[in-house]
Amino acid sequence: MKIETAMEPVEEMVDKSAMRSELIRRVKKNKLLYIMIFPGLLYFFIYKYIPMYGLVISFQDYKPYKGILGSDWVGFEHFHRLFTEPAFWMIFKNTIILFGLNILIFFPIPIVLALMLNEVRLRAFQRTVQTLIYIPHFMSWVIIVSISYVLLTMDGGLVNGMLETFGLQKINFLLNESWFRPMYITQVIWREAGWGTIIYLAAIAAVDPSMYEAARMDGANRLQQIWHITIPAIKSVIVVLLILKIGDVLELGFEHVYLLLNASNREVGEIFDTYVYTTGLKQGQYSYSTAIGLFKGLIGLVLVIGANKFAKKIGEEGIY
């Protein structure tokens, strides 16, 4: 027994040494890959992780002239204010509704587009269509919203001009709150749907062609091949992207919504991102706006963990 006990630390040291050697070997073998991802890791470290130190001001009455170390601690006062704020439930509801539109309407569209593009046999036409639907992604939201304004404005807008030509009444799309959400999701689809097809097309390209040949021999048509082969093959990719999308439940993008907001549609368009801008930068309530940001982050984290556990329960790999 004494000999076995003495041998255990030696075996552990040998195992650790072997693991260290294996790690060094893998790093040397894949050094170019590590060099390639280093700028991305550096970006996240500088702009995502280091700023987390500033989250402490959500528990302080932060004053810029006092600094983080000199400001007074107030505990959960800002969080209590957030949850008792009259506008909180309005902002929360608007954020959830817009997120729901993203999940239910926008999320499936890149999948459908990728499946349709994959069925195109004329490669020149396929590449042309791909290029055309990719282009809006490289436009800023300022350009996308500006084009929408030109098309939808009451004064000389193309859409209202067509309505007037057909003897129909003009619609004030920009100031009517009932049109805010349709306008928002339409612009999201226009800008991002084509770009979202890239990952799905790459996943479809990895499907074994022999599976399609076997299905054709069994008499399966194109729709049956898509349903029974293509979709199951990319299901894991869909699940991973859906989990990541769920993590952005309260993160809808400040710039897009802010450009669409005005006094007439603020009741249905104000979200956490625009509210943080108004209270934090315009009104100088830095601690309060930081508390809102921390709340958003925690909600996203909980949802990602929950969605990942659910994905594993149904047999998918998840993101970790």
| Contact call for residues 74 and 59 (beta carbons, < 8 A) | yes
pLDDT digits (tens, 9 = 90+) for 63-106: 888 888 888 899 899 999 989 988 899 999 999 999 999 999 99
Instruction: Give pTM, 2 decimals.
Output: 0.82
Name the average pLDDT for the chain. Answer: 86
State both tokens at 187: 């612009």
If we measure between CA atoms, which residue out of 270, 226, 227, 232 comes closest to residue 250?
A: 270
Domain spanning 76-313 has what CATH number? 1.10.3720.10
Residue ranges of alpha helices (H) inside the chain are: 2-29, 31-44, 67-70, 77-84, 88-101, 108-118, 123-134, 141-152, 158-165, 180-205, 209-217, 222-225, 231-246, 254-260, 266-269, 272-276, 286-313
Query: How far is the C-alpha of 40 from the C-alpha of 49, rounded, in Å?
Result: 13
Residue 68 has what pLDDT?
Answer: 84
| Contact call for residues 272 and 95 (beta carbons, < 8 A) | yes
Label residue 277 exposed, middle or buried (CB < 10 Å: 0-12, 13-18, 19+). Answer: middle
Q: Which contacts of 257-262 are long-range, i.e. CB under 8 A and separated by 24 or more positions?
A: 257/98, 257/184, 259/141, 259/142, 259/145, 260/145, 260/180, 260/183, 260/184, 262/174, 262/175
Length in residues, the chain: 320
DSSP 8-state class, residue 60: E
Q: Tell me how far CA of residue 317 lies from CA of 115, 196, 306, 314, in angstroms.
A: 23, 21, 13, 9
Residue 106 has what pLDDT?
Answer: 93
Helix axes 108-118, 123-134, angle to 10 degrees: 160
If we measure between CA atoms, which residue out of 175, 174, 153 comes closest to residue 164?
A: 153
pLDDT digits (tens, 9 = 90+) for 263-283: 888 999 999 889 988 888 788
Query: How far is the C-alpha of 97 from the C-alpha of 307, rounded, in Å?
Result: 19
Contacts of 97 by beta carbon, 8 Å cutoff, 6+ apart: 181
pLDDT at 233 over 70: yes
State both tokens at 26: 């893998």
Residue 1 has what pLDDT?
Answer: 47
Domain boundaries, the chain: 1-57, 76-313
pLDDT digits (tens, 9 = 90+) for 114-163: 999 988 888 888 889 988 999 999 999 999 999 999 999 888 888 888 98
